[in-house]
Amino acid sequence: MELVIGDDGLARCWWGASSDDYIAYHDTEWGFGVTDDHRLFEKLCLEGFQSGLSWLTILRKRENFRAAFSGFDPTQVAMFDESDVERLLGDAGIVRHQGKIRATINNGGRALEMTEEFGSVASYFWPRATFGPPPTEIASVTETSTAVSKDLKKRGWKFVGPTTVYAFMQAMGLVNDHLDGCWVREQAETDRKAASAKVGG
């Protein structure tokens, strides 16, 4: 776990400098506060698809996923039927895993239930955000992600294990795992505090 100085002279978390795709993702998305329900739903679903694969694989297919899943609008996804499952299983632009496809469709319905109960998907997740000093080590699972995973499963969500949930929390700014000295850490922190204040987390 270390910082890497890029050709541009900027210090980044070690994983965020390994490819152009990762540099862009690290510098502009990962750890920044997200309050848009479609993006939160998208990321949780894509983390499920990522299970067993590299995130870079999913990142490079993300636009294909968005096209295949109606922009990850939960209202649309929840209405997918067997013909959509067959369509998606035939789509070479995404990960054609029947269990994960069906889980995403199921989770569309669960996201709608969450919105009905809490007002938005964001209003469920942001009160669970944590704030503190830069990490000295990066966990793959935390007490919070374990508790959230357990609650999501109780609510009927699929492919939302503790590791998947924590990766989602890292990416959406619910935690800030940019290392001390990373050039975007403070910007991400400011952004996610604004997100938390906006939602009332």
Residues annotated as catalytic are 25, 47, 55
C-alpha torsion 64→67→71→73, nearest 10:
-120
Say how far apart CA 85 and CA 74 lie, in whole Å: 16
Say how far apart CA 128 and CA 123 lie, in whole Å: 9
HEC string of 61-90 equals CHHHHHHHCHHHCHHHHCCCCHHHHHHHHC
Spell out the residues 6+ positions from residue 94 whose beta carbon is closer than 8 angstroms to its own.
49, 61, 64, 65, 68, 88
* C-beta separation of 70 from 77 below 8 A: yes
* C-beta separation of 201 from 43 below 8 A: no
Cβ neighbours of 11 (radius 10 Å): 18
How buried is residue 179: exposed, middle or buried, by Cβ count under 10 Å (0-12/13-18/19+)? buried
